A and B are shown apart, each in its own frame.
Chain A
Amino acid sequence: MPATPPRAMQAMDLDAGRDQAFMDQVAHESGQDLKSCYQCGNCTAGCAYSHDYDIPVHQVMRLVQLGLKDAALSCRSIWLCATCQACTTRCPNNIQVATVMDVLRHMARRAGHAPERLVKTFADSFLASVARHGRVFEAGLAACFALKSGKPMQDAGLGPAMLSRGKLAFLPHEPGGSAKAEVAAIFERFAQGRHRAPATGTKAEDKA
């Protein structure tokens, strides 16, 4: 036996770069037992988006198990997951994999990552429309996204088919009563971070 094994056979240092706080946070926010993933790959096998992912979903789960925060939060995959729930449905250990992907996306947003810029732009434009009108105003959303995306003509060809079939409303279909204001208030409280510490929300405000 040689005194020094070839490099490929050297033991990996699994503690290197492990971020325990990140692992705990993903487990807490998703409510999932991440240790129970044994890397069978069933999630990746059934994932319609593996073709477009930079890291297949079972490997994203592995990155979380290894506590490799930056690698997990900076990947494109978490932005391309459509929450189709095939992974969650087929996980032999009942891990809600799609929920873990959702939580990673939340954390990536907070950390300022958005490698799929337009996916983030679409979600932001959608929610801005809801905050403003109480319901999604489809034509407004399409126009807003077209301007922000830098691809203004991508869906222009759909216009005639929509117009001739009365599928494009030019005015928002807003709810009555105080509904619109109630939705706007939900978004205002969210922007203030009231959901983060609901029990101590008033104290935090008092301090401010």
Chain B
Amino acid sequence: MSLRLGYYPGCSQSGTAAEYDISTRACCRALGMELADVPNWTCCGSTPAHTVDHHLAGALAARNLLQAEKAGLERVVTPCPSCLAALKTADSHLADEAYKAGVEALLGRPAPGPVDCQSTLQALFEHIGPEGVKARVKRPLTGLRVATYYGCILNRPPGLMAFDDPENPVAMDRLLEACGATVVDFPFKTECCGAAFGMPRLDVMQRLSARILDMAESVGADVIAVACPLCQMNLDLRRGQVNAASGRDIRLPVPYFTQLMGLALGLPEAELCLPKLVLPLEPALAAAQQREAAGRAEAQARAAAKAAKNGTPRSEPVCKEDAPCA
């Protein structure tokens, strides 16, 4: 059974974050979620609009909700947390009549009725779920240690975003675990990376992104999985700037969670767009595979030694968890 959802790609996803859009579409297709683009969508206004005026922000976002409504799309999903916040904020504030009148004055026509907006992460988690993903995994990410980085606004403020835990979100954790990855305990899941300050206040962005990278490295992650094009740009494309400021040389790759999921689902290279990442993913995958192989060899050697000591030869290696208590 296929599920049809409205899809709002957002501006970054047709430029610097094209790999997020391509891998999102590919994962949804592979998992039976049909996406119908909001016709002739325009910019949601993002952060700059709401920092200038709330009516302007509302009108820019509401134009897209109107487009969705006209196309008969009752639910709209978007991969970008900033687009999601803009669409949900407009949708929520339009319930206020005075605000709605101001937005309509800018739109030049009646505002849209309520439209349900979700992140593609939420849609994947709620409609397919970890079990649904697990059933379709062809190339499990066994041994890959992933720090899941949600960014600041995917789940906040909780009253508006209404999905997952605002302080310790787990939806991405569960989906990547279903892909066979090992999700490490990462205390900075929702800390800010410096957002759009890369251009106007590079020093601020460098300090904040360096904290995220330091923490990911200290918890032993192989990769940082992200769900936001701005987080990805700060941690990956701007890595040289961040490393230069912190005096470190951290090389952790920063793939979108949909690229990791697509890899596990066995999707073709062209739909994963891994070469678009500035820090390559391959060395991390190779290191995880080597570590896994070494771990297996070590367990086998231990089991063999134990069997020899007890004088009871065993053909199968024994995992510590399966062994009976003494």
User: Which residues from chain A sit less than 8 Å from chain B, CB to CB?
Assistant: 29, 48-49, 51-52, 80, 82-86, 88-89, 96, 98, 102-103, 105-106, 109, 116, 118-119, 121-124, 126-127, 130, 134-136, 138-139, 142, 145, 149, 154-155, 157-158, 161-162, 165-169, 173, 175-180, 182-183, 185-187, 189-190, 194-196, 198-199, 201
- Shortest A28–chain B CB gap in Å is 10
Q: How many A-B contacts if CB must be within 8 Å?
A: 188
Extra pairs beyond A80-B204, A85-B156 (14, CB < 8 Å): A49-B204, A80-B201, A84-B192, A86-B152, A134-B42, A135-B42, A136-B43, A139-B15, A162-B16, A178-B40, A182-B63, A183-B43, A198-B104, A201-B105
CB–CB B201/A84 < 8 A: no
A46 to B: closest C-beta gap in Å: 9
- Asked whether A127 and B16 contact (CB < 8 A) given A106-B53, A119-B200, A198-B101, the answer is no
- Residue numbers of B with Cβ under 8 A of A are 11-12, 14-16, 18, 39-43, 45-56, 59-60, 63, 67, 101-108, 152-153, 156-158, 166-167, 190-192, 194-202, 204, 207-208, 237-238, 240-241, 275-278
When chains A and B are docked, how far (Å) is the Cα of A155 from the Cα of B198?
Answer: 9
Bound together, the chains give a CA A2 to CA B251 distance in angstroms of 67
A119–B59 touching, CB < 8 Å: no
A-B contact pairs, 22 of them (CB 8 A): A80-B197, A80-B201, A82-B192, A83-B153, A102-B51, A103-B54, A119-B201, A123-B47, A130-B42, A134-B43, A136-B11, A138-B15, A158-B238, A162-B16, A173-B11, A177-B39, A179-B67, A190-B59, A195-B55, A195-B59, A196-B102, A199-B101
Residues of B within 8 A of A162 (CB): 16, 237
B104's nearest neighbour on chain A, judged by CB, is A198
Nearest opposing residue in chain A for B191, CB measure: A48
B144 to chain A, nearest CB (A): 22
- How many Å from the CB of B197 to the closest CB on chain A? 7
For the complex of A and B, list the 9 residue pairs with the smallest distance between their C-beta atoms, beginning with the closest: A84-B152, A198-B105, A118-B200, A195-B55, A85-B156, A123-B48, A179-B40, A126-B48, A82-B195
Given A149-B199, A167-B276, do A186 and B63 touch, yes or no (CB 8 Å)?
yes
Partner pick for A85 among B51, B54, B157, B208, CB 8 A cutoff = B157
Chain B interface SS verdict (over half): helix
Least Cβ–Cβ distance between B14 and chain A, in angstroms: 5
Cα A54 to Cα B152 with chains together (Å): 22
The answer to whether A83 touches B50, judged by C-beta atoms less than 8 angstroms apart, is yes
Q: How far, in angstroms, from A30 to B59 measured CA to CA in the complex? A: 18
Known: A175-B41, A183-B63. A123 touches B52 (CB 8 A): yes
Contact flag A190-B101 (CB < 8 Å), given A82-B197, A158-B237, A195-B106: no
Docked Cα-Cα span, A142 to B196, in Å, equals 12
Q: Which of A116, A139, A157, A165 has the most CB of B within 10 A?
A: A165
Which residues of B have CB within 8 Å of A86? 152, 156, 190, 192
